[in-house]
Structure 1
């Protein structure tokens, strides 16, 4: 998932550099949204790891 979003950002930035007008604006907006999706994806995976480690600690305490 991370590789797909990263490659989409690179392609959209390339399109934005080579075009003008509405197409450029849409490419920039799409690239920004892909970056936001990438950040959310990374944060979600980190929080899942933290939650999983908390569950292991609680299970060991019992």
Structure 2
């Protein structure tokens, strides 16, 4: 049972998340031959103030 963890900035719509989950599930089915009901996708939304790249918080980027 593949499990996919996705961390992303908060603010996506329900429809965007729904489409992402469907696309990721289908990619696993096509690539690994898994059954859709055996694929788990966990979405974790993170505030820009809690994510940094290159020593800089995303909330402070221009």
TM-score, length of structure 2 as denominator length: 0.36
- Greater strand percent: which structure? 2
- Greater helix percent: which structure? 1
TM-score, length of structure 1 as denominator length: 0.36
Radius of gyration: which is bigger? 1
Which structure has more relative contact order (CA 8 Å, sep 6+)? It is: 2
